[in-house]
């Protein structure tokens, strides 16, 4: 009798352990990869176009589990904002963030402005989009050198360019309040092409404001040797001939009041992560968070001679089940190149996962996925998430572009030390050829 009790207890404990560590697909724990043989397992969990590519053998979805909790991977002040900022901010009639009590424009939000989302709120989609913007702001200034690859259906790898991204935010993190901000600037951004020679010196500069004032966008084109002012609609043009538009970064990198956003649903999704273990962050003497030296990278189809699917397919990303918000987005500008877009955003950490793009006649056109990665310093004082490799597939051209940031030769600095003078028109010219 005593033996039976012991066996029963052991079975109960084993059952609990199995339940706690069950595979992503609980009713089929042996599944490690979703491919054309079992594509039904991903139905409803990924965008329809991605499911169709898996069904045809063009893409695969390797499954995995993280060894860390993404809900904890924020800086302390960002974690505090999940309680401290509840009810502190609202949106005015122009969909600009304001102080809930006074109605005045919020000059500097520390952490996330809208930590609680009510799906019944008519402005819920806008608040989710602002949280998505702030998920990058809360980490501070950034300086990335990265590579962009052109990949064709039949041609495979075509070309590579090296690009420098620099972002400076005057909201989102505590140090942002130390800068004088008489113009109410929200963000500065600078993109400059470093190589190859024929494109080197091509550059774009953006000034974004906290108010409803439109972005100020400038571009330098080596062929004409001058800086020219750009229309905000130009942010939907292809960047140096790639499949990406500037606004495609992080699924949508434009000014939020320029779009109509609508909350479609909240659902479970399979979303791509670069790996199960966070990348080590080295805190430099300047206080910057240096992530170089990691040997982690995303491998694509054209890099594997045995692969028979799409040459742009990520082969070693791992897909993890996470809750997402699905947002419908459409530009107010009739000259914007895109029609309706659907953006999938993490419900637990606010980063982007997917985007599907339709043209202005509402025919499906492009697909984007963003790869998530966790970062951690040795002492655990710095923990955050970032969204690195981006894949954009243009279904009409049978072509794709990859922004490869998890690359051995890239240099990623978070909490970077930047000179705001570089974001002036005079400073901008230093990055122009």
How far is 80 from 315, CA to CA, in rounded Å?
A: 37
**Domains by residue range for the chain, with CATH:** 135-431 (2.50.20.10)
Enter the tokens of residue 25: 């697909």
| Residues contacting residue 347 through CB under 8 Å, at least 6 positions apart | 266, 322, 323, 324, 325
Question: How far is residue 374's CA from residue 382's CA, in Å, rounded to a whole number?
Answer: 11
d(CA 302, CA 404): 14
Cα separation of 199 and 192, whole Å?
10
Q: Is 62 exposed, middle or buried (0-12, 13-18, 19+ CB in 10 A)?
A: middle
The closest alpha carbon to 176, from 135, 139, 215, belongs to 139
pLDDT per residue of the chain (433 residues) written in tens, 0 to 9 = 444 443 344 444 344 433 333 344 444 456 699 999 999 999 999 999 999 999 999 999 999 999 999 999 999 999 999 999 999 999 999 999 999 999 999 999 999 999 999 999 999 999 999 999 999 999 999 999 999 999 999 999 999 999 999 999 999 999 999 999 999 999 999 999 999 988 898 999 999 999 999 999 999 988 777 888 987 778 899 998 999 999 999 999 999 999 999 999 999 999 999 999 999 999 999 999 998 878 789 999 999 999 999 999 999 999 999 999 999 999 999 999 999 999 999 999 999 999 999 999 999 999 999 999 999 999 999 999 999 999 999 999 999 999 998 888 888 999 999 999 999 999 998 898 7
Q: Which helix (H) or strand (E) holds 4?
A: helix 2-20
This prediction's pTM: 0.92
Using CA atoms, how far apart are residues 189 and 191, in angstroms rounded to an integer?
7
- Asked if residues 244 and 338 have their Cβ atoms less than 8 Å apart, the reply is no
Cβ neighbours, 10 Å, residue 372 = 25
44: left (phi over 0), alpha (psi -120 to 50) or beta: left
């Amino acid at each position: 009798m005593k033996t039976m009790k012991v066996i029963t207890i052991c079975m109960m404990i084993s059952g609990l352990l199995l339940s706690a560590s069950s595979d992503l697909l609980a009713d089929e724990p042996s599944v490690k990869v979703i491919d054309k043989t079992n594509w039904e397992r991903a139905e409803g969990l990924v965008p329809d176009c991605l499911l169709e590519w898996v069904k045809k053998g063009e893409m695969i979805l390797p499954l995995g589990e993280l060894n860390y909790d993404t809900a904890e991977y924020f800086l302390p002040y960002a974690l505090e904002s999940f309680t401290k900022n509840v009810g502190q901010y609202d949106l005015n009639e122009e969909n600009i963030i304001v102080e809930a009590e006074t109605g005045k424009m919020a000059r500097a939000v520390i952490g996330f402005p809208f930590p609680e989302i009510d799906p019944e709120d008519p402005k819920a989609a806008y608040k989710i989009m602002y949280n998505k913007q702030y998920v990058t702001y809360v980490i501070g200034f950034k300086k990335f050198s990265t590579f962009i690859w052109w990949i064709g259906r039949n041609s495979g790898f075509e070309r590579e360019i090296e690009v420098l991204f620099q972002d400076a935010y005057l909201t989102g993190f505590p140090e942002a309040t130390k800068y004088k901000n008489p113009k109410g600037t929200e963000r500065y951004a600078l993109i400059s092409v470093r190589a190859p020679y024929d494109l080197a010196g091509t550059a774009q500069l953006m000034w974004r404001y906290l108010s409803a004032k439109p972005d100020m966008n400038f571009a330098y084109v080596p062929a004409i040797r001058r800086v020219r002012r750009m229309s905000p609609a130009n942010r939907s043009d292809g960047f140096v001939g790639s499949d990406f538009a500037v606004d495609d970064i992080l699924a949508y990198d434009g000014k939020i009041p320029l779009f109509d956003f609508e909350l479609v649903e909240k659902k479970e999704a399979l979303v791509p992560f670069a790996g199960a273990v966070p990348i080590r962050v080295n805190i430099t003497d300047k206080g910057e968070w240096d992530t170089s030296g990691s040997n982690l990278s995303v491998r694509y189809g054209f890099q594997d001679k045995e692969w028979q699917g799409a040459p742009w397919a990520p082969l070693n990303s791992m897909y993890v089940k996470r809750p997402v918000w699905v947002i419908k987005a459409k530009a107010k500008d009739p000259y914007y190149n895109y029609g309706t877009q659907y953006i999938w955003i993490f419900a637990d950490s606010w980063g982007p996962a997917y985007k599907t793009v339709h043209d202005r006649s509402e025919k499906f056109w492009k697909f984007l996925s963003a790869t998530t990665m966790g970062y951690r310093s040795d002492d655990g004082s710095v923990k955050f998430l970032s969204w690195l490799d981006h894949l954009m597939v243009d279904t009409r051209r049978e072509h794709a572009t990859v922004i490869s940031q998890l690359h051995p030769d890239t240099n990623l600095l978070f909490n970077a030390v930047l000179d705001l003078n570089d974001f002036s028109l005079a400073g901008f010219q230093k990055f122009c050829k």
